[in-house]
Each structure stands twice: as C-alpha cells, then as structure tokens.
Chains A and B, each alone.
Chain A
Amino acid sequence: MQGDEACAEGAIVAGCRLFAGYPITPSTEIAERMARRLPEVGGVFIQMEDELASIALIIGASYAGVKAMTATSGPGFSLMQENLGLAAMTEAPIVLVNVMRGGPSTGQPTRASQGDVMQARWGSHGDYETIALAPYSVQEMFDLTIEAFNLAEQYRVPVILLSDATLGHMREKVVIKLPSEVKIVNRKKPRVPPEEFEPFKPDEDLVPPMACFGEGYRIHVTGLTHDFKGYPKSTDPRIQDQLVRRLCDKIRLNADKIVKMDEYFMSDAKVVMVAYGTPARSAIRAVKIARSKGLKVGLVRLITVWPFPYNYFREL
C-alpha cells in the first residue's frame, strides 16, 4: 500500500477515532483512507474548512477523550502553527502528519522535500517542545504513526510525523499488526477524586494526569499562562517560569527515552553519514557499497528528529 495509506492504518491501530483535515497534496490520501476506515471502527471523519480549524478540532477532540489526528503538507503546516502552540501549552495529546513537499509557499505540490524540519521544532511562538518522527519506509509510516500516538499520550504533547511526498506516495509491502500485537499507550487518568483534582499538577515525570470533559472533573483549559488548576496567571512571573520549564523539561529530561535511531557499520567507522526519512534509503545503499570497497563508513539514521540526539552526537 501507499505510505499515506499505511499512516492511516497505523492511526486506526493506535486507537485514533477522529480525523479532521483539509485536503492538500501530497497528504490527501491519508484523509481519503481515514474517511473510509474511521466509520468502520466507530470513529469520525470531518473535512474542515481549513487547516486552522482542523488542528483546533483535534485539540478539542483530544480533550473530549478521543485520540485524534490531522494531516497536511507545508502550506497547511504553516497555518497550523498557532494552534500547535496551543496544543503544547494545553498539553493536548495530538498527532499531526506533515507529508512534506517543496517550498517555500506552495512550492512544488507533488515533489518531495525536507524543508519543514525546523518549522516542526520552532514554528510556533514561545518556549515549548514537540516530538517529531521521520519514517523512511512505508512500514515505518505504519509503525511510527502508532509510536506518535503513544508518545503524544505518554507526554501530553503534540507529536509530528515528518514524512515527504516520495514516501507518502510510495508503495511497499506492509505488515499490518493488530492492536493486540503492538504497544498501545493511553494517557494517565486522575487518581484522586474530583474535589482534589488539579488538571495541570504534574506527577514526578512532569506530566499531569489528564481528565477529559464529561468525566466528572472540573477542567479549565486556556492558552494563557496558568496554574495547576488551569486558571490564568498571566502576570505572575513565578507561574510562567514554573510552567515553561515544565513544558520543556518533560521532553528534554526524557530525551534519551524518546530518541530512536538506527546505526549501520558504526563500530569502526571513520566517516559517518547522517540521514533521515527518504534520503536514508539511498544512504543505506551508498554506505553498503562504500563498505564493499573497504571504506570505513557508517550511517546514523535518525528516527526521532526532535528531540535531537545531542548527547549521542557529542559522544561520537
């Protein structure tokens, strides 16, 4: 199947039951597949009026307790940046797929690029952290979509799947695993009665348990700087300090647990190639040929792009 289709199937297996999106090449096949598949599993597909509304809806759906996803490409990703920041600030577990195409602006709709890597990290305003994964095969479009949902649920953070037009439209054999065959992570739920619950009071891992609308807990959600109860405290420097540090540290301090990569021929490598996504496919081939010629070359294929594995590279 296509990479885009494998992504949709991975989302279904991960438990995604809502997709909101606006069509854009080369990600539209994800929406098309979700439109057909979600009703079969009791889910909801909504085509929205634009990308701003698409990400806004999945934030709301996440707060209603539903695993939710949207998919887009560069121009739509730009439109989603404001609400990507809202998702980071409100700690809404969501998955955003960006099937990258050539830019800037509308650029090359049908051609692949990796031009949105920095936007995935720094596109919204303020200090925050996201997680971004870069699949290199159609199988990983399936597997890493599941991983994206798991990370979003575990860390209450928006997770971005950075694919590209080549991978989205590539067809390869895919092993579709059943939900019982994969690890599925669900968000932590409150362990205290509603009268004691503070919706943004973190556990030791810096991630607050998440009550959802309709579960009997009092929840106030705002993009403003807020205290543990969720109430705005936008003029209190201590609250801002505490909140921003926690939003960043829950990812930074867990980076070693989050980061994944594949190493090829690294044990005695004198020259190291780094690649991720589609170029990694050519890089693997190039390194194998180089090895056959006796060249001591290794390859690091990044699976997690953000957080970036700074410690790993410093120690090389």
Chain B
Amino acid sequence: MVAEMNYGQLVGEVERCAGGKPVHFIPKFGGDPHSPEELLAVVEEACGR
C-alpha cells in the first residue's frame, strides 16, 4: 500500500518492483495529509478485517 498526497507518482515505481504482487494506492488531495484512521481502514481491508 502506498500513501501519497497526489494522484499517483511514486506508487508507479513501487508497482515496477512488485513483481505482480497487488499494490494499493491511497491518494489524498485538498491539502491535509491522510489521517491514521483513513490509512488504518485500508490496512484492515487489505488484511481481510
């Protein structure tokens, strides 16, 4: 999972290295960083919770 305050920049570099493993991108716009709760929700979803 890649969290960036943009619409996808370094996530592309991670994907190039992932070797087919799934890569989830978590963008954020508007000027505020992601909150821990936002990221945690994505983590829990990825972990099947």
Task: Give A contacts to B, CB under 8 Å.
Answer: 101-102, 108, 110-115, 117-118, 164-166, 270-279, 281-283, 285-287, 289-290, 293, 295-297, 302, 305, 308, 310, 313-314, 316
A residues in contact with B7, CB < 8 Å: 115
> Could you tell me if A271 and B17 are in contact, using CB atoms closer than 8 angstroms?
no
> Could you tell me if B3 and A111 are in contact, using CB atoms closer than 8 angstroms?
no
> Could you tell me if A295 and B14 are in contact, using CB atoms closer than 8 angstroms?
no
> Could you tell me if B17 and A310 are in contact, using CB atoms closer than 8 angstroms?
yes
> Could you tell me if B30 and A286 are in contact, using CB atoms closer than 8 angstroms?
no
Contact pick for A295, options B9, B33, B34, B49, CB 8 Å: B49
A residues in contact with B10, CB < 8 Å: 117, 274, 276, 302, 305, 308
B residues in contact with A271, CB < 8 Å: 1, 43, 46-47
The 5 A-B pairs with the shortest beta carbon distances in the complex, nearest first, are A111-B31, A313-B17, A286-B39, A285-B36, A114-B5
> Could you tell me if B3 and A283 are in contact, using CB atoms closer than 8 angstroms?
yes
Taking each of B9, B11, B28, B37, which has the highest tally of chain A beta carbons within 10 Å of its own beta carbon?
B9
Closest residue of chain B to A289, judged by CB? B40
> Could you tell me if B33 and A282 are in contact, using CB atoms closer than 8 angstroms?
yes
Report the minimum CB–CB distance from A167 to chain B (whole Å): 9
Counting residue pairs across A and B whose Cβ atoms lie within 8 Å, the total is 115
CA distance A310 to B12 in the complex (A): 11
Contact pick for A108, options B2, B14, B31, B38, CB 8 Å: B31
> Could you tell me if A114 and B49 are in contact, using CB atoms closer than 8 angstroms?
no
Q: Are A112 and B1 also in contact (CB < 8 A) when A273-B39, A297-B43 are? A: no
Residue-wise interface mask of B (16-49) relative to A, using a CB-CB cutoff of 8 A (1 in contact, 0 not)? 1111000000001111111111111001101101
B residues in contact with A102, CB < 8 Å: 29-31
CA distance A114 to B25 in the complex (A): 14
B residues in contact with A273, CB < 8 Å: 1-3, 39, 43
> Could you tell me if A313 and B18 are in contact, using CB atoms closer than 8 angstroms?
yes
> Could you tell me if A278 and B33 are in contact, using CB atoms closer than 8 angstroms?
yes
Report the minimum CB–CB distance from B37 to chain A (whole Å): 8
Contact pick for A113, options B31, B43, B49, CB 8 Å: B31
Report the minimum CB–CB distance from A222 to chain B (whole Å): 32
A residues in contact with B31, CB < 8 Å: 101-102, 108, 110-113, 165-166
> Could you tell me if A114 and B9 are in contact, using CB atoms closer than 8 angstroms?
yes
A residues in contact with B38, CB < 8 Å: 282
B residues in contact with A110, CB < 8 Å: 31
> Could you tell me if A117 and B17 are in contact, using CB atoms closer than 8 angstroms?
no
Closest residue of chain A to B15, judged by CB? A313
Closest residue of chain B to A275, judged by CB? B3
CA distance A278 to B35 in the complex (A): 11
A residues in contact with B18, CB < 8 Å: 313
A residues in contact with B2, CB < 8 Å: 273-275
> Could you tell me if A272 and B9 are in contact, using CB atoms closer than 8 angstroms?
no
> Could you tell me if A279 and B43 are in contact, using CB atoms closer than 8 angstroms?
no
Closest residue of chain B to A295, judged by CB? B47
A residues in contact with B33, CB < 8 Å: 112, 166, 278-279, 281-282
> Could you tell me if A297 and B29 are in contact, using CB atoms closer than 8 angstroms?
no
Contact pick for B4, options A279, A289, A310, CB 8 Å: A279
B residues in contact with A316, CB < 8 Å: 17
